[in-house]
Amino acid sequence: MTFAPTSQATNITDPNRKKALLLHYAGEAVHDIFDALPTTADENGTDSYGSTRDVLTSHFSPKRNLQFEVYTFQSAHQENGETLDQFATRLRIFAKRIPFHTRKALEKELHSLQEQDIIEPVTGPTPWVSPVVCVPKPKDLTAIRVCVDMRRVNTAIQRETPLQQ
């Protein structure tokens, strides 16, 4: 359930009232969690509805567990009844994921591309997701080049063909 329809239906526009109502509807447990979180002021320098919503959304969003991903990758073994081809395919899927040692560099590069307004974040469902490959730059091995694998997208492009007469 989202809070926006409630605030629109009750015609509440004051950010401080929206914040109070959000915390009230979320319940006492969420209010206690909010009190323990570091709050950040919004662009007006106040701690209002927008910054409260952002802090709570960030706290309750699922996080990636890097230690578990490393453990899962390192403990992969062939299952009973799994053919060698199936196991190799599963290992390739593991390998297509972003390598653990380049994830921080990838996050830095994506943030840089977002600041340059080259890419924009997508927060909701999207019909297209393309795999990303990170390649170290030849002159600076700590920097990466982000490459998008467009093979799946290219198969869906409908090309114009000349009219046949």
Are the CB atoms for 23 and 30 separated by under 8 Å?
A: yes
Q: What is the pLDDT of residue 115?
A: 92
CA dihedral 150, 138, 142, 75 (to 10 degrees): 60
CA–CA–CA angle 89, 127, 109 (5° rounding):
75
**Domain edge (last residue) among 49, 81, 97:** 97
Based on the domain organization, do 165 and 105 belong to the same domain?
yes
Based on the domain organization, do 75 and 36 belong to the same domain?
no
Structural domains in the chain (count): 3
99-110 pLDDT per residue, tens? 667 778 888 888
Based on the domain organization, do 155 and 121 belong to the same domain?
yes
Residues of the chain with pLDDT under 70: 1-9, 39-47, 73, 92, 94-100, 126-129, 152, 155-156, 158, 162-165
Based on the domain organization, do 106 and 142 belong to the same domain?
yes
Based on the domain organization, do 16 and 43 belong to the same domain?
yes
74: domain range? 64-97
Based on the domain organization, do 108 and 73 belong to the same domain?
no
Based on the domain organization, do 86 and 112 belong to the same domain?
no
Q: Is the pTM of this model over 0.75?
A: no
Kindly tell me the number of DSSP H helices and DSSP E strands found in the chain: 8, 2
Based on the domain organization, do 162 and 106 belong to the same domain?
yes
Q: What is the pLDDT of residue 100?
A: 67
